[in-house]
Structure 1
C-alpha cells in the first residue's frame, strides 16, 4: 500500500526557517509565515521535511487513495519559493492573473521573492483555497 511521505510532523517551523541559507529567502519565509498564519487563523506546522502547512483536511479519491494534507502552505526552496493552494479551484486562475510574477503547476505556485507578488491577492488565494477545500472535503466524511 502507498504511504504518504508528506505528513504533519512535530518539527519546529522556526528552526526550519532559521536553516534557510539565503538571507532574502529566510526573510521572505518569515513574511509568508505571518501572512499565512494571519489569513488562515491556523498555526504553522511542518509537513514532511520542507513544507510549512496551515490547517489540514482529509481527502479520499474515487480510486480509493486517501490521506491528509495541509489546506495551504509554502516552502522556501533553493530555486524558488513554492506556494501550495487547492488545485482545481475555479477562482484560482483569475486571482493568479493579478498575483504578480510567478509560474504555476497543478497545486503549486512558484515565486522568486515576495516583492514580486501582491500581498492582497496572496491573501485572497489563501482564503479561497481554504474555503474550497473545507467545502470539498468536510470533516467527518
Structure 2
C-alpha cells in the first residue's frame, strides 16, 4: 500500500452517506491531533504517517501509522490489534470489531474521549517498534 497523492478534502466531499463524511472530518481532526501529521490518501484509506513492516514469514509492505476508511456501511478505523483494547472498547458505545479493525456507524453515538484513548494507544504501539508479530520501522 502506498499514498496515492489524491486530495483528502475532495475525497471526503464525495463520501456518502453524509454521516460518513461528517465522521471523516471528525476522525481527520482527531488523528491529526494524535499523530501531529497531515492526512494522505492511500487509495480510499485516509492515513497519517507511514511505516514499513516485515513479518517473520518474509511478507512486508508499507502502511499508515494510523488510518481509517469512510465506507458506506461504517467508518473502518484501523488499529494495531482490536483485542488489545477490549476494556476501552467496552466503554466506547455502538461498534463492531474484527482482528485489527473498529467499525463505527455514527461517531455521535460513541464516547470520543474513549476513542481518543484507543487511537493514541494504537498509534503508540505501532510507533514504538515493540511488536512481537512484525518488525515495524517508521518511515514518514
Whether TM-score is above 0.5 comes out as yes
User: For residues 1-20 of structure 1, what are the structure 2 equivalents within 5 Å?
Assistant: 6-20=1-15
CA contact (8 A) 1:89 1:129 kept: no
Higher relative contact order (CA 8 A, sep 6+): 2
Match of 1:97, SS state, is helix
CA shift for structure 1 position 115: 1.0
TM-score, normalising length: structure 1: 0.87
Aligned equivalent of 1:56 = 50
TM-score, normalising length: structure 2: 0.87
- Distance in 1, matches of 2:9 and 2:3, equals 15
Residues 88, 111 of structure 1: CA spacing in aligned structure 2 closer, same or farther, 3 A cutoff? closer
Aligned equivalent of 1:34 = 29
Asked if residue 128 in structure 1 is aligned to residue 134 in structure 2, the reply is no
Among 61, 68, 73, the residue aligned to 1:74: 68
Cα RMSD for the two superposed structures? 1.6
Aligned length: 133
Unaligned runs of 5+ in 2: 130-135
CA shift for structure 1 position 21: 2.7
Unaligned runs of 5+ in 1: 1-5
Among 79, 82, 91, the residue aligned to 1:98: 91
Asked if residue 111 in structure 1 is aligned to residue 101 in structure 2, the reply is no
- Distance in 2, matches of 1:126 and 1:14, equals 22
